[in-house]
Structure 1
């Protein structure tokens, strides 16, 4: 049975649990983690990380704290406080005050949702509202003072806050304040999302994982070793290093000979041990004075995982001490675990796209790789030199590919760089979405 932690103020946690009780999640256990102050969130998730498979937070503020503490957004969800929640706050103010109150101060986590859009949908001018967006560095006192000073200066008549602690402070000051809390429907949706995330993660983690490590130029390395005993000692050292890693991984080591080793485990175990695996690769490279190619295959079956791993290690041979992963479904990940990690698909079922690329004599893998760089860098426009630098290939080669992509309508030249710069101006391109209306040349 998978466990999910519920984090938030005690009243919010109790409300979420009461909604869960009315639903049927027989394969999930929900554990309450109430806090007195929101800043306790970081310690809660760090100290209990191994006890649960996912986290559900009462709002965007504790989620923000958790993401900062864990450095990851995996299996995290929250109950949104914008949309129906903000509408309810305005209706409560109007009902209790028997009139429409327009001058209101609102605090909201930056990036949680578009509060301005919600106000426009209500038909309330933004000029009547004073909104404070905050991040994890803000103090509760700062938020409370934001509302208090506006009220005392006569600039606002009421306050809406997303934090229970700020609500309590303002109530003690006899300020007209309302909590922006999610509705029951929004909480149900958030519960559904985290349950689906945890379930998907379970099946993903139980996939078969195979890592192939290949010592490159193995024959040349043998020639440098003066005695047969030297080679045997080296192979024993390599095997000892890999066996220690397999023990931590709960994996199974197979020595294939000629510098090739295979490690069988689960996807979840391998993904959790990426940093130790990179350390092992570096140690092997130092021990052997050779580059180490690593290819990892993930799949539902051992057979498919082996196929993916063999393709991945062939791809990794072109790189030095990097990890290449091929997932079940055709996703290829270069430099896995590094800052310059790049994910793209090496095949496609799009017949029109394949037809165009075939006409231009460009592989789907090459196109998807270029497309992945553009998406990752979030470039609206780019030059061939920029792409060449990211892919570590020559500008001349990329220019040739770009010329072909322009001919088939997948790329468009939209201008040139400043001609006052030294050398010839470079062409500026943009990526075109594939459209059935665009004719094939």
Structure 2
């Protein structure tokens, strides 16, 4: 089951976080949009009973909850670090706003100076707010207003949206400093580790299946049986080393397939949060082979094994050299990055969408190929001829499937492609694939 996380904040920063959180398939966000930091307490109180962890923006919002709401669940806030300042200062530098100096709050002096040094503008005049991290918006406004009105600074950078709004009303040059994607990712990782469900799932058994792609062709290239046996030993040794890094247990199933067991927490850390499979790159570079992975989660060993086999089938149907994960709720994660770099990240494909695709005549083989191709090339628009080539079917069959998928809302026409000779070709957009893309 997914872990519900309550997210409280202004629309702009919440929208940004919702893009980042797609890389955390375990989280199911429950959002409350507020227009002012003073509304955070009441929003937290209403969410506390339906989520496992709360996430807000800024130290002041965090203090509001701690002081006014009796919560028994973990509460985290996205801090502002120097990572978010680079972009702001770069824009200010381009527009010449830094010439007269700037004032800044929400960051320490050392953070600001490190960024200025990295940008080579350490001589820029700046005044850093030296008060408490959870200072009220009124105090921060007075700090900037005094410096701007006296001419000591010409530009203000604030981490509090209401302060930026008041300064803008005064027609004072300012910019609202928002957390970077990196700040948000780090906070989400901490939030995930603090939940009770996460601690329980840390020890959940994970079943994985590995199959060497086109093993028969590899064997045929060997000149004698000794070479074949050496290849098998090399593959076995490499897979064994990988499973050892997972603190797992490995058993071979024939010469080209392996079964391993590990725990969910270790597997998640080794894959960087279900993003990449290090073994695949090693196999490609050292032995020139590609692997298909299938990983299954489940509430029992039987369920995890069944899901692993189904995930391996998705990987094989996608053409190999890929990995899919099927969780206990039948959510499909993947493809993970293998030896080839992934151009686009995909959020988890949920059961309802899989069922919608199947009801529309899109088999798991077609869905796997489309997901894999989108992840590797960032492509979600095809002509009928491109689709036929990708799915290894005739153009006539591709036309028939496209009409069926259009009727079921999976595909729409996005435009026309001009060709040197003949009629223009329609371009079909797989809208559900675009919706699954993390931008």
**TM-score, normalising length: structure 2:** 0.50
Query: Bigger radius of gyration, 1 or 2?
Result: 1
**TM-score, normalising length: structure 1:** 0.50
